[in-house]
Amino acid sequence: MKKLVYWALAIYVLYGIGMAWYLLVVADISIPPQWKGTSADPATFLTPKELELSGEYSRWKDLLFFLSIPYEWIIYFGLLAFGAAQALRTWIEQTAKWFPVQSALYAFWLSLIITALSLPFDFAGYHLSRAYGVSTQSVTSWFRDRLTDFFVHTVLLVFIAAVLYWLIRRFGRRWWLYAWMLCVPFMIFFLFIQPVVIDPLYNDFYPLKDKKLEAKILGLASEANIPAEHVFEVNMSEKTNALNAYVNGIGSHARIVLWDTTLQRLNEDEVLFIMAHEMGHYVMKHIYWWLAGYIVLAFFGLWLVSRMMRWIVARWGRYMGIRQLSDFASFPLLLLLVSLLNFAASPLVNVVSRYEEHAADRYAIELTGNKEAAISSFQKLTKAGLSEVNPPFVVKIFRYTHPTMLERIVFLEEYAPPLREGR
């Protein structure tokens, strides 16, 4: 097992060199000739210095992403191969005798170990964003957010570990089916509590100060049948120069949110287009389609994880110190398999997400009818976040949940409003 870890590290180094060569040297991010000089060409709305910084920042950010994913897998594999998962299990069993306490302790310490080992990559991402002027967050504030992340993720991990290992012990091979059945109410519950419980842990939310703009946004919301009485503003300028807005939550907990950076850098027409886009997701019920899609993926994912875990534990369990599937020492293996499957499914998930985002763009331009404001808002989003207008293909399929800025602006350039009746 230790030899396998060393081989994995060697492959990881070679992979990292290959990805660096591809992203920093080979990848073509140039604008197609037919769109040079148009509003889709970043040279028309970015300064030469901003163009240079955008290319550098995006390439390094993409490289960090592609290095961090397999690094996470190596952490899980290393915990299994070097006996850390087994040693932690043994210590927990000696410390506590009651199953719920054992599962909570194991999940807590596992979360702490993974968070600590992942911290270098997390800090590198923060430092990169800060160095290029995208992040404005202080180190103290950044660490405070990481502590909040640790708290939220650990609570979820404790809950998941307790439920999953109880199901494994209670139902044996069919544990995955009962786990999937519990996913549905859990996902719905999380969608309800996120806007009012999770999000405020990171930022302060307050009613939009510009009441004239709020009235116009609520007017759009009324046309979209969104049950919202207020528009919320969040103070993100303390953390970033990037722009964003969103509508999240379901039912009575639906919340319209604008970052203060968006209000500072976009004019009224641009803000209304951005909000119309977010409302398009609500009108077309994308959140429910997202929920249904993840329920289907969870079904097949949990089934695959259960079969793969049984096979791996039967074949190599003794080398990893895993006595049986219900052994807590198998938890890093479960997390490893889930991470692998999530990454494998990400191109498909991103394709669906990009389709929904394009549909929301279409909805927004049809609702507002202001092509100039739509194009300029995307240009300002690119400028504020130093985003790539035309990213490499591999980056697009694995990272982009939205169409590229090139695709979004080209769509607006070519958009022709539908003819009204009688014309």
Gap between the Cα atoms of 125 and 406, Å rounded: 25
Gap between the Cα atoms of 4 and 340, Å rounded: 17
Supply the pLDDT for residue 420: 44
Supply the pLDDT for residue 417: 67
Supply the pLDDT for residue 256: 78
pLDDT tens, residue by residue, 368-384: 889 999 999 999 999 99
Q: Indicate if the pLDDT at residue 37 is higher than 80.
A: yes
CB neighbourhood size of 97 (10 A): 8
- Residues annotated as catalytic are 278, 361
DSSP assignment of 303-320 equals HHHHHHHHHHHHHHHHHH
Q: Indicate if the pLDDT at residue 398 is higher than 70.
A: yes
Q: Which tokens hold the place of 17?
A: 């060199």
Supply the pLDDT for residue 132: 94
Calculate the dihedral angle through the C-alpha atoms of 168, 169, 173, 178, rounding to the nearest 10 degrees. -50
Gap between the Cα atoms of 89 and 280, Å rounded: 48
357 is in an annotated binding site: yes
Residue scoring higher pLDDT (32 or 199): 32
Which residues make Cβ contacts (< 8 Å) with residue 79, sequence separation at least 6?
Answer: 85, 110, 113, 332
Q: Indicate if the pLDDT at residue 96 is higher than 90.
A: no
281 is in an annotated binding site: yes
Gap between the Cα atoms of 17 and 125, Å rounded: 18
pLDDT tens, residue by residue, 314-335: 998 888 889 889 888 999 999 9
Supply the pLDDT for residue 253: 64
pLDDT band at 203 (very low <50, low <70, confident <90, very high): confident
Q: What's the whole-model pTM score?
A: 0.90
Segment among 11-15, 75-79, 417-421 with least mean pLDDT: 417-421
pLDDT tens, residue by residue, 259-304: 889 999 999 999 999 989 988 888 888 888 888 999 999 999 999 9
Which residue from 277, 329, 276, 338 is spatially nearest to 303, judged by alpha carbons?
338
- How many degrees, rounded to 5, is the angle at CA 129 between CA 125 and CA 134? 155
93 is in an annotated binding site: no
Q: Indicate if the pLDDT at residue 422 is higher than 70.
A: no
Q: What is the mean pLDDT of residues 305-312?
A: 94
Which residue from 299, 326, 300 is spatially nearest to 313, judged by alpha carbons?
326
Supply the pLDDT for residue 423: 35
For the chain, helix, strand, coil in percent to 5 are 75, 5, 20
Element (H, E) at 258: strand 255-259
pLDDT band at 363 (very low <50, low <70, confident <90, very high): very high
Domain edges within the chain: 2-202+285-414
